[in-house]
């Protein structure tokens, strides 16, 4: 074979791959997350505390589709609570783009933020005392947001009763919070957050003060809300056990999305079904990916690394040979 022809054949896979990548990039919609319900693009939130600048969110990207049930997890200080505050309209981002439905959270006025929180989103706090008015019954707590929205009294009562039934706490309608257990209070709180039929329900550590069995009941209630009412649910938590109850888990590390776990139902050869969980690293809009610590430590990946584009994958190599260890002598 002619040397020129041989070189062309050897280069063909890489050339084809690059061309395919360029064509795929041109085919992407110009607007990131155009069809998603929740869009965060290069989201930044910087705080000033005693003259010190703290970057809670450092260019975070996140998409949530309508109807999803998603858990956002991360260690303390990772940025997950800041993200929830921004998405719920309680905090204003510093830079980037963030949209929930038709609402642009970067440009909303104070009055629009109030309307956004009343109509577009519902919120459940970790502390049960923050969710409910202590001197009102469960039915009255659920009806309160409806009254503020101007809904007629008869409709309020009927809708409040219906929501309590969906959450499995209809029997608590005439009880005040002090007469209910922690799990019952949280389920009534979920009903209250859904009073004005929001498209998105945010839950901040909803099981943080509950035991394992009660936590399972509350998470089951959130699944019911997602399945029966079609409400998009985003749960923020540090509890890894919550991940088993949702369709997708997004982990935040150092103010950016780092990994995602997707769950799907698969069928075994004998016809039985089981849940399959697949973990993926997240490549953000700036081309950044966070490698797990154990990967970096095993291969001594520090500072500069070498990248190699292969036909179907990208390889990452340290910029220097790895020191031989005991395992290499075996």
CA dist., res. 125 & res. 139, Å (int): 19
Mean pLDDT, range 169-195, rounded to an integer? 93
Q: Is the pLDDT of residue 296 over 80?
A: yes
Question: CA-CA distances (angstroms) from residue 110 to 71, 105, 248?
Answer: 28, 11, 32
Residue 143: band (very low, low, confident or very high) from pLDDT cuts 50, 70, 90 = very high
> Which of 105, 103, 107 has its CA nearest to residue 85?
105
Biggest CA pair distance of the chain: 89
pLDDT band at 5 (very low <50, low <70, confident <90, very high): very low
pLDDT tens, 304-322? 888 888 888 888 888 876 6
Which residues are 52's β-sheet partners?
A: 49
Q: Is the pLDDT of residue 69 over 60?
A: yes
Residues of the chain with pLDDT > 70, as a percent, come to 88
Q: Which band of pLDDT confidence, cut at 50, 70 and 90, is reported for residue 9?
A: very low
Domain ranges of the chain: 66-88+109-281, 293-329
Q: What is the pLDDT of residues 216-265, one digit of tens each?
A: 888 888 999 999 899 999 999 887 778 778 889 999 998 898 988 888 87
Domain 66-88+109-281 listed as CATH 3.40.50.300: yes
Considering the entire predicted model, what is its pTM?
0.81
Beta-carbon contacts of 77 under 8 Å, excluding residues fewer than 6 positions away, are: none
CB 121 within 8 A of CB 101: no
Of residues 24 and 245, more confidently modeled: 245
Mean pLDDT of 45-69: 89
* Across 40-46, average pLDDT: 93
Give the H or E element holding residue 172: none
Confidence class of residue 140 from pLDDT cuts 50, 70 and 90? very high
Confidence of residue 10 (pLDDT cuts 50, 70, 90): very low
Residue 325 pLDDT > 70: no
């Amino acid at each position: 074979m002619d040397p020129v022809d041989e070189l062309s054949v050897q280069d063909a896979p890489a050339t084809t791959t690059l061309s395919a990548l360029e064509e795929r990039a041109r085919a992407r919609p110009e607007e990131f997350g155009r069809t998603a319900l929740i869009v965060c693009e290069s989201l930044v939130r910087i705080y000033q505390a005693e003259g010190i600048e703290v970057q809670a969110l450092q260019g975070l990207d996140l998409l949530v589709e309508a109807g999803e049930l998603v858990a956002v997890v991360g260690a303390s200080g990772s940025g997950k609570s800041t993200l929830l505050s921004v998405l719920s309209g309680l905090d204003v981002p510093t830079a980037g783009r963030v949209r929930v439905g038709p609402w642009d959270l970067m440009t909303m006025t104070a009055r629009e933020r109030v309307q956004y929180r009343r109509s577009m989103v519902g919120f459940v706090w970790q502390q049960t005392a923050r969710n409910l008015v202590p001197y009102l019954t469960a039915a009255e707590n659920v009806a309160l947001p409806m009254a503020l929205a101007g809904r007629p009294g008869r409709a309020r009562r009927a809708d409040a009763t219906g929501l309590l039934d969906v959450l499995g706490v209809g029997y608590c309608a005439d009880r005040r919070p002090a007469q209910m257990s922690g799990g019952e209070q949280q389920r009534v709180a979920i009903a209250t957050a859904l009073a004005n039929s929001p498209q998105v329900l945010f839950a901040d550590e909803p099981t943080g003060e509950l035991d394992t069995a009660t936590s399972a009941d509350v998470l089951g209630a959130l699944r019911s809300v997602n399945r029966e009412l079609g409400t998009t649910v985003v749960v923020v938590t540090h509890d890894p056990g919550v991940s088993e109850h949702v369709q997708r888990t997004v982990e935040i590390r150092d103010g950016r999305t780092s990994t995602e776990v997707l769950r799907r139902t698969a069928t075994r050869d004998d016809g039985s079904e089981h849940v399959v969980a697949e973990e993926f690293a997240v490549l953000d809009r700036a081309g950044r990916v966070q490698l797990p610590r154990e990967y970096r430590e095993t291969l001594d990946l520090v500072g500069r690394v070498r990248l190699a584009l292969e036909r179907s994958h990208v390889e990452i190599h340290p910029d220097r040979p790895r020191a031989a260890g005991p395992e290499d002598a075996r």
